[in-house]
Structure 1
Amino acid sequence: MNKIVPISLLFFLIGTVSLFAQAKNETVLVVKDTSKLQEIDPLTPAKAAFYSAILPGLGQAYNKKYWKIPLVYGAIGTSLYFYIDNNNKYRDYRNAYKRRLEGYNDDKYQFLDESRLVAGQKFYQRNRDLSALFVVAFYALNIIDANVDAALIQFNVSERLSMRPEVYPNDITFRPNVGLTFNYHF
């Protein structure tokens, strides 16, 4: 019993000396967060959509998705080409039909009768209108793509977030159950 008191007193003194030594040193450790979260700018999708509305493809350039710019111009340009081509053919058939009604038969569609000229007008008019609809649709799709892409750039996809499929046995029937686990590590 006599030996226990001095040994415990010795440990107490060593503990207080080391405590005072740490207090005098005053070394402060700062832990840095290595996975720093990006600041979210809520106006980024609106800016990208505005830029794409001004000039198609500019919103994709703003989002740094340069590979989409040729797709945008290819889609809009092809639709615009077919619009212009169908409009020119519609005018040709229309002018030929008007000249037929005036009594002239000197156009490049001499081999067609009047009913075929009217059918050609309707065909090219329908295709022209459909091409105009595609031009507007691809223009709108360009704006929507820039907006959605800018919103998804800010989406947090860090290593701390995970989703894993899991197959585990049922406690009663021992049949396999399928489930998903969502994990967030701090």
Structure 2
Amino acid sequence: MKLKFVLFQFFFLLAVFATHAQQDSLSISSKTTTEKEIQQKENEPYNALAPSKAAFYSAILPGLGQAYNGSYWKIPIAYGGMATGIYFYLKNDREYNKYRDAYKNRLAGRPDQFEGRIATNGLIRAQEFYQKNKEISIMVTVGVYILNIVDANVEAHLRQFNVNEDLSFRPNMDYDALRGKTNYGLTLNYSF
């Protein structure tokens, strides 16, 4: 019950941070850009090392690449994912050790805490179950760590991508009156 409450709090806070970050990124500023600001943005040099720097920073310390990119709201997600994997690894390790010790005691002829309730085959199956869960927890933790590095790298690449108002990509529907069918497609428009 306590674990469910902690997980609920974690995901609630995660949703609050994500919503706040999304609102910040979607907010429309009333400031008009001047010709000088547009020219300055266009003249920024392409930094080819920014993606590799971000990936390196995230590899050294998870979340540091996200901080380098300015996406601070992703840092709790990275640490939360890794902390969840580590938590379940430690929990499954305790359970595995409990059943392993009981199995060793039973083989040595000493009494164990599951005597009369769980058969020897049940102790073996429990050890295998918790061993498998420990391995899955390690894979989840490593997967979140690798995803953290990839996210920092990709975001650094995308931050340098030219997102100009003159370039648009939108769906298009064209009604063919001769055949009576609608044609679907995508149009790419570039304004000079």
| Same fold flag (TM > 0.5) | yes
Aligned residue in 1 for 2:23: none
- For 1:157 and 1:94, the matched residues in 2 are separated by 58
Gap regions ≥5 residues in structure 2: 1-34
- Scaled by the length of structure 2, what TM-score is found? 0.73
Q: Distance in 2 between matches of 1:81 and 1:33?
A: 48
Larger Rg: 1
Query: Is 36-45 or 59-68 further displaced after alignment?
Result: 36-45
- 2:166 is matched with which residue: 144, 156, 160? 160
Q: Tell me whether 1:108 sits opposite 2:134 in the alignment.
A: no
Which amino acid letter does the alignment assign opposite residue 159 of structure 1? E
Query: How big is the alpha-carbon RMSD for the aligned residues of Structure 1 and Structure 2?
Result: 2.1
Q: Which residue identity is paired with 2:144?
A: F
Q: Which of residues 115, 118, 127 in structure 1 aligns to 2:133?
A: 127
1:34 and 2:38 are equivalent in the alignment = yes
Give 1:164 shift.
3.2
Q: Which of 87, 95, 99 pairs up with 2:93?
A: 87
Query: Whose helix proportion is higher, 1 or 2?
Result: 2
Deviations 1:49-91 (A, max 9, x none): 1111111111111111111111111111001100111111111
Structure 1 segments of 4 or more deviating over 6 A?
none
Identity rate, percent: 50
Residue 167 of structure 1: SS of its match in structure 2? strand
Secondary structure of the residue aligned to 2:183 is strand
Give the Cα separation in 1 of the matches to 2:182 and 2:114: 73
1:34 counterpart SS class: helix
Q: Does 1:148 align with 2:163?
A: no
TM-score, normalising length: structure 1: 0.75
Q: How many corresponding residue pairs?
A: 155
Q: Per-residue displacement from partner, 1:9-29 (whole Å, max 9, x unpaired)?
A: xxxxxxxxxxxxxxxxxxxxx
Query: What is the aligned counterpart of 2:66 among 47, 53, 60?
Result: 60
